[in-house]
Amino acid sequence: MAVFLLLAGVVVMGYMIFHNIFVKGAVCKSNVKLHGKTVIVTGSNTGIGKMTALDLARRGARVILACRNKQRAEAALADIKRESGSNEVVFMHLDLGSLKSVRSFAETFLKTERRLDLLINNAGIYMQGSTEDGLGMMFGVNYIGHFLLTNLLLDRLKECGPSRVVNVASLGHNFGKIDFNCLSTHKELGVGKSAMDVFNIYCNSKLCNVVFTHELAKRLKDTNVTCYSLHPGIIETELGRYANSVFLMLLKPISMLFFKNSVAGSQTTLHCALQEGLEPLSGCYFSNCTVRNLYPKARDDAVAKKLWEVSESLCGLL
């Protein structure tokens, strides 16, 4: 019995150390206040987006919740106002799967808001399908919608500088590739419907986020706008949101033990948005509040330039 208790204690202690180092992770250490600043957080009605918006509201920022689902966004709005004690939080409708909606959001924002100091492109999706513009769903929502939104708001960001763009990507970008032939033929980053096909397409969309950030930083050189991409960590139910109930049931015990919660998952986003002195690292990729090296495919200048040009064409920006 004594041996069993000793082993159990060792296991519990080992898990606590593992959890604090690898699961909970680093914490954003910035104490900066944001009174008089305006931020947009896409997909901020749930998960790490909601926790990011809550933290920024607590710091005094005017926070725009840019979300597709009105009912869920209004519930999040009420929660954030109550928990932050701030009335400077508003909901604006944004469907990243619709280029028309992205343009409408940007037009309304530019007409009604004087400032934009932080743009946090947080929203993401993990499911197959097509957008209303005929783009692959994950390509359209995870990347193209944010590409267009960022470009439509860049002038305002420059006017209000120093300002930042933060693109929430994923460690999965390491497994991704950008197939321009597939994009040309299917307006999608991959074909197939198997679980592995869907995972690959998700990773491809996240590689686009990182490559976009690399190219954006080059185009913003000598301006007062900087940009960063990041891996937030493996977040509880992050990839299972649209999965079937059996998968979610099987995933739950694992996610409780080994996945970050939403508060922990928001820390690297907040670090990139708030930490003083990051300007020389514009274009870099972060994980666990630390800058990380990228594989060559994620910082390939020729690929980045071509992706930008293809994206402009798909968005009608040319």
Distance from CA of residue 43 to its chain's centroid?
A: 8
Determine whether 143 is an active site residue.
no
Q: How many CB atoms lie within 10 A of CB 199?
A: 15
Query: Long-range pairs for 79-82 at CB < 8 Å and ≥24 separation?
Result: 79/50, 79/54, 80/50, 80/53, 80/54, 81/57
Residue with tokens 């359209």: 140
Catalytic residue among 202, 228, 285, 295: 202
What tokens does 26 get? Answer: 């680093």
SS3 316: coil
In terms of phi and psi (left: phi > 0; alpha: psi -120 to 50; beta: otherwise), the region of 275 is beta
238 contacts: CB under 8 Å, gap ≥ 6 = 47, 126, 259, 265
Residue with tokens 């977040």: 235
Active-site amino acid positions: 202
